[in-house]
Structure 1
Amino acid sequence: MRMVAALAISLAGIMSTGASQADDPLTRPIAPQSAKRWLTPQAPIRLYGNSYLVGFGGLNVALIRTSAGLILIDGAVPQAVADVEANIRRLGFSIRDVKLILSTEPHFDHAGGIAALARDSGAMVIASAAGAAILKQGGGDPDDPQAAWLERFPGVARLRTARDGEAIRLGDVAVTAIATPGHTLGSMSWRWRSCERKSCKTMLFAASLNPIAADGWRFADPAHSRFVDAFRASIARMKAQPCDILIASHPQEGDEERLKRLAARRTPNPFAYAAPCRGYAERAEAALGEELGK
């Protein structure tokens, strides 16, 4: 009888834990149909040196190993948190090793999971001042060009802001904040150095420079000139960035094949191609021209 009672208590505990996880307000699914196309499972992989990818086929989440813990860049959607944490474990780390979470933009597809990841890790979240204000309230920026499309997401409680050009240091790694507003006025890209033996490369995790807007919102409207000016300044800045390997917040065309070659240990590193930041900026420039032409 004592064994039966103990088993019942144990099962009740498991069921209670499962229920609490299922009802976790920080991981409740957001826009499941839209998110489904982003969350194609992808094995975690070391990209170069101390830099890894722990995200998905349609959403990049990056991890940097330092001598004092891990830095995570972006957090995908809330329902993806368990998979991000599992990918971190598959690399031999723990979510509790994450000390900093850097945010590129306050949209639900990149920031929706940050609140849960920050809670589970105890990490400090860092964003631009404009981005932090929207992260704190869980979205809802009425001035955002995509405001009519955007979902609200769990607000981030523990935040600090980074200035443009500020070096964020953790252990032996410094990550430089690069303001790249346009897609959102709070967008921030992040740059650092990663080495394999004596070969070092400049890595850059780029915030989106995609000029898209909800129906009826026009970039050519004079009232929206600050967004166009921000895009043009960010595009020029991205062109000038010294980067050897670029990680876009949404994977770029060709990245799937590059990942296959990387997993097969092909050399040279397939992500280290000529002028990736310039190419990224030029594609954004062409897209902005098309939007203005409409």
Structure 2
Amino acid sequence: MGKGATNVAVPGADDPLTRPMAAERAKEWLAPLPPEKLLGKSYLVGFGGLSVVLIDTGAGLVLIDGALPQAAPMILANIRKLGFDPRDIKFILSTEPHFDHAGGLAALSRDTGATVLASARGAEGLRAGALAKDDPQSEYGGSWPRVTRIRVVQDGQVLRLGRTAITAHATPGHTMGSMSWSWKACEKKVCKAIVFASSLNPVSADTYRYTASASAPVIRGFEASYKRMDALKCDILISAHPDNAGQGRYNDKPGACRSYAERSRLLLAKRLARERQEVSR
């Protein structure tokens, strides 16, 4: 469907794609913040507890993540505050198939005509609007608006648009379809590598066990993601949940990505130790 044929919600009408999800932390996650310039043509257009990024490539806009369903109108409003037309968004990059980061993707894609890019496993979850069976949080159940306009990208694949090249980095563990994204932003003679990292938190439903044999692929996923984050060139880190990045809306301290991985390493090690201790009792 071309941009001229894009369906847009009628103002004031009940919109199933932006109908509020009554998540326990929704108010905290969607704490309003003004849009903020990062560097060059990269901007933060998200919230106090959920990151969303806009990149002006010179040949169209790229958005990263969509927060909760009810966040979509606020994201579009922030984009307009920066002087951009949301209909110029060509692609929306997804970090993970969870409602708090992907819930708004269906509405954003519909209202802009943009194509959503995700990993193969991520795309499965976005099309279903539901958690995968091997997701550590699958027991929570629930659903969010399904995404229909999707393109699958591979680990290491580069999206080139205008003056910007954005690289996809598989970072499984939190979900097996998680994807992080990196690009270079420049202002005058200063250029920096920016990484938008997917969640690496080893959280789960109460009955899930990381020490179970069925969880071995998830553990290997985490280990691979730690190595990936350790190796990435990373001058500015944006994490899907800002509080996980270590400071404010982003972290521009040296070694930010390595610190991000180390935080998860320690949390996972504690979780595994606790589970083993419970079994030995």
SS at match of 2:38: strand
Partner of 1:137: 128
Shift of 1:255: 2.9
Find out whether 1:48 has 2:28 as its counterpart: no
Q: Please list every run of 5 or more consecutive structure 1 residues that lacks an aligned counterpart in the other structure.
A: 1-15, 260-269
AA aligned opposite 2:270: E
Find out whether 1:226 has 2:217 as its counterpart: yes
Shift of 1:34: 2.8
Find out whether 1:212 has 2:203 as its counterpart: yes
Shift of 1:216: 1.1
Partner of 1:199: 190
Shift of 1:67: 1.0
Alignment of 1:212-291 (within 5 A): 212-252=203-243, 254-256=246-248, 271-291=251-271
SS at match of 1:229: helix
AA aligned opposite 2:262: E
Are residues 32 and 281 of structure 1, via their aligned partners in 2, closer, same or farther at CA, if it must alter by over 3 Å?
closer
C-alpha distance in 2, partners of 1:191/1:86?
Answer: 25
- Equivalent pair of 1:134/1:141 in contact (CA under 8 Å): yes
Shift of 1:35: 1.3
The equivalent position to 1:166 in structure 2, one of 147, 153, 157, is: 157
- Equivalent pair of 2:59/2:162 in contact (CA under 8 Å): yes
Find out whether 1:119 has 2:99 as its counterpart: no
TM-score using structure 1 length? 0.87
Are residues 17 and 272 of structure 1, via their aligned partners in 2, closer, same or farther at CA, if it must alter by over 3 Å?
closer
- Equivalent pair of 1:100/1:125 in contact (CA under 8 Å): yes
C-alpha distance in 1, partners of 2:73/2:41?
Answer: 22
C-alpha distance in 1, partners of 2:233/2:107?
Answer: 33
- Equivalent pair of 2:49/2:243 in contact (CA under 8 Å): no
- Equivalent pair of 1:38/1:57 in contact (CA under 8 Å): yes
The number of equivalent residue pairs is 265
C-alpha distance in 1, partners of 2:11/2:79?
Answer: 21
Find out whether 1:100 has 2:91 as its counterpart: yes
AA aligned opposite 1:289: A
C-alpha distance in 1, partners of 2:142/2:37?
Answer: 32
CA RMSD of aligned residues (A): 1.5
Shift of 1:150: 4.5
Partner of 1:190: 181
C-alpha distance in 2, partners of 1:191/1:104?
Answer: 12
AA aligned opposite 2:247: D
Question: Larger radius of gyration, structure 1 or 2?
Answer: 1
Partner of 1:156: 147
Shift of 1:69: 1.0
SS at match of 1:37: helix
Alignment of 1:14-29 (within 5 A): 17-20=10-13, 23-29=14-20
- Equivalent pair of 1:190/1:204 in contact (CA under 8 Å): yes
- Equivalent pair of 2:131/2:137 in contact (CA under 8 Å): no
Which shows bigger deviation, 146-155 or 119-128? Answer: 146-155
- Equivalent pair of 1:107/1:150 in contact (CA under 8 Å): no
C-alpha distance in 1, partners of 2:37/2:204?
Answer: 34
Q: Please list every run of 5 or more consecutive structure 2 residues that lacks an aligned counterpart in the other structure.
A: 1-8, 275-281
Partner of 2:119: 128
AA aligned opposite 1:281: A
C-alpha distance in 2, partners of 1:272/1:184?
Answer: 26
C-alpha distance in 1, partners of 2:23/2:214?
Answer: 33
- Equivalent pair of 1:106/1:134 in contact (CA under 8 Å): yes
